[in-house]
């Protein structure tokens, strides 16, 4: 009977330890999910900034071409 009681206590301890480990994993997973969301948001912001820079560069290129055309009118 003592063996059964000792085994039951070991099983109970193992279950508690497994429960604590599962809880720790869940906490880590939540942290990773939050970090992933932050990284995704940052990537979206960077993409938007790059698109704005690209649009500005295209506009600047167009203005430079217009300026070149205007200046060429003053040449013989």
**What digits encode the pLDDT tens for the residues 63-73?**
999 999 999 99
Residue 41's pLDDT band (boundaries 50, 70, 90)? very high
C-alpha–C-alpha distance, residues 56 and 60, integer Å = 6
pLDDT of 74 reads: 87
How many distinct structural domains can be found in the chain? 1
pLDDT of 32 reads: 96
Determine the structural domain holding residue 47 and report its residue range: 1-76
Grouping H, G, I as helix, E, B as strand and the rest as coil, residue 74 is coil
**CA-based max dimension of the chain:** 113
- pTM of model > 0.95: no
Please determine, for residue 49, whether its predicted confidence score (pLDDT) is greater than 80: yes
Give phi and psi for 74, each to the nearest 5: -85, -10
């Amino acid at each position: 009977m003592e063996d059964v009681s000792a085994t039951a206590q070991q099983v109970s301890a193992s279950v508690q330890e497994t429960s604590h480990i599962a809880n720790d994993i869940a906490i880590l997973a939540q942290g990773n999910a939050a970090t992933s969301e932050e990284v995704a948001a940052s990537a979206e912001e960077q993409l938007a900034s790059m698109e704005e820079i690209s649009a500005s560069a295209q506009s600047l290129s167009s203005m430079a071409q217009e300026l070149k055309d205007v200046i060429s009118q003053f040449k013989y």
